[in-house]
Structure 1
Amino acid sequence: MNKAVLKAVLRKNKWFAGLPPSLADSILRLGRIRNADDSLIYSASDSRDGVIALVSGQVRLTSFSLSGNPSFLLISSPGSWIGVTSALDGRPYGYDAFAIGKAVLFHVSQERFEALINESNEYYSAFVRMVCDHLRVSMQNLIILRNRRPLHRLAQELQRLSERHGRQTKKGLVIDLRLSQEDLAVMIGVGRQTINRLLKSLEQDGIATTRYASVTIHDLKAIERLSSSEEAES
């Protein structure tokens, strides 16, 4: 892959875009392109193997409860980095990463990653800042999950997915990520009956419709209004 194209994709991530040029160039020099096609990139129990950035396609990040049910689900978009926490602390990943369809990955091996962060405290601190960014986002999502109504949480997730993965068609903005109703339920922290009720409500209001493994948003303005609502869950 052309280095300029790769750099442009990685700069979609604010963290990478804000790196010192010397560090950004070193990352580009040390990494290698990998391809995945409907395959497991790593499992929750795997040992660390460096850091990975998504160049194209989608990656599903999932963790499971002791009963085997999914308890967390996130879809990564191009420019996103995964595996950083494990690369730094040496522990297993803690979640599965699975490529949805064809995905292009940029992989910096553990050996090269450690050599890089050992070059200077500035380089090490840069990756710590990435973990801090991830933690802040996680905390914000937890606050939203605990305090906002399920319909507003669903609208926010649909807005996020539409911005990163939406495809404009004559019928509306299509989010085609092989997401089932159960997947959406896990993403916003509700049960199967609740997500079914919420999706039917959006469909009755002409805002969005669901089909097998896809969602079509017909009224993005309505989704944005619901997403920005401050109404708390009683």
Structure 2
Amino acid sequence: MLAYDQLLKQMAENQWFAGLAPDVQQEMLVDSRIQRLNPGEFLLRQGDAPGCFYGLVHGALKVSSLGEDGKEAILTVFEVGNWFGETSLLDGLPRMHDMSAVTAVEVRCIEPADFERLMSNNGFARAIAALQAMHSRLVYKMLEDSMLRSTRMRIARRLDHLAHGDTSLSLNERHVLNITQDSLAMMLGITRQTLALELKSMAGEGAVILKYGQVQIASLAKLKAMASGL
């Protein structure tokens, strides 16, 4: 388990958490309980009653849904520093998606009563409104992409998002994305074969390098051009 100073520094790498007042940051971390998951275990399932507000301390969590035919759609992957789960706490409705551990995971869980107490702090309440708006914007962007963008543009835009931590929207870019083509295809709602053909073409144009279990970004400029349809 990380010492408090290390934990605070790690979580503050997330822009949303870093923008909170120091006393609110401390209250969130000190009053939360630790929950650990092994790979494949569920943090929550679609239809679950509202529970905790979560902060991801270690590992990665997959947010997904299953269709009537059993086909899985991956909506996003939460990485270290992300806070989530506010929607059901705000509207009192059941959880909308499954959330399971991709790797070994550790989360901080803020219980509903503690979340309500934090919401009495105007700064925290405004931050939750901003977090909800950020999550909503991402959903609308994905919906817009699925309806209006070409397959290549959708792939390039999602890789660009993943380079910034997907939901984290980090200012720092990374060039090695530890994601399988199967998972990326499920994120985009396309077949593995369609994705493979597009990635091969993008690699031929020098935008990406394909490795086992990875997509490496060779040129972010070329990737962004593809994401813009250029």
TM-score by length of 2: 0.82
Sequence identity (%) = 27
Query: 1:122: Cα distance to partner?
Result: 4.8
Tell me, in whole angstroms, the C-alpha distance in 2 between the residues paired with 1:155 and 1:129. Answer: 26
| Paired residue secondary structure (2:176) | strand
Query: 1:85: Cα distance to partner?
Result: 0.6
Query: 1:8: Cα distance to partner?
Result: 2.0
Counterpart in the other structure of 1:27 = 28
Structure-to-structure mapping, 1:9-158, within 5 angstroms? 9-38=10-39, 39-117=41-119, 119-158=120-159
* Unaligned stretches of 5+ residues in structure 2: 167-173
**2:206, 2:222 within 8 Å by CA — same for their partners in 1?**
no
Tell me, in whole angstroms, the C-alpha distance in 2 between the residues paired with 1:131 and 1:37. Answer: 28
Q: Give a deviation string over 1:135-169, Cα, whole Å, max 9, x none.
A: 1222223223322222122122223323439xxxx
**1:52, 1:83 within 8 Å by CA — same for their partners in 2?**
yes
Tell me, in whole angstroms, the C-alpha distance in 1 between the residues paired with 2:124 and 2:203. Answer: 49
**1:37, 1:102 within 8 Å by CA — same for their partners in 2?**
yes
- The answer to whether 1:194 aligns with 2:194 is yes
Q: CA RMSD in A?
A: 2.5
**1:50, 1:110 within 8 Å by CA — same for their partners in 2?**
yes
**2:181, 2:196 within 8 Å by CA — same for their partners in 1?**
no
Counterpart in the other structure of 2:170 = none
* Unaligned stretches of 5+ residues in structure 1: 166-171
**1:50, 1:111 within 8 Å by CA — same for their partners in 2?**
no
TM-score by length of 1: 0.81
Tell me, in whole angstroms, the C-alpha distance in 2 between the residues paired with 1:208 and 1:122. Answer: 41
Q: Give a deviation string over 1:88-139, Cα, whole Å, max 9, x none.
A: 222221111111122221211223222332x345543432332122112222
Query: 1:221: Cα distance to partner?
Result: 3.6
Aligned AA for 1:13? Answer: N
Query: 1:35: Cα distance to partner?
Result: 2.2
| Paired residue secondary structure (1:49) | coil
Number of aligned residue pairs? 221
Aligned AA for 2:201? Answer: S
Tell me, in whole angstroms, the C-alpha distance in 2 between the residues paired with 1:101 and 1:41. Answer: 12
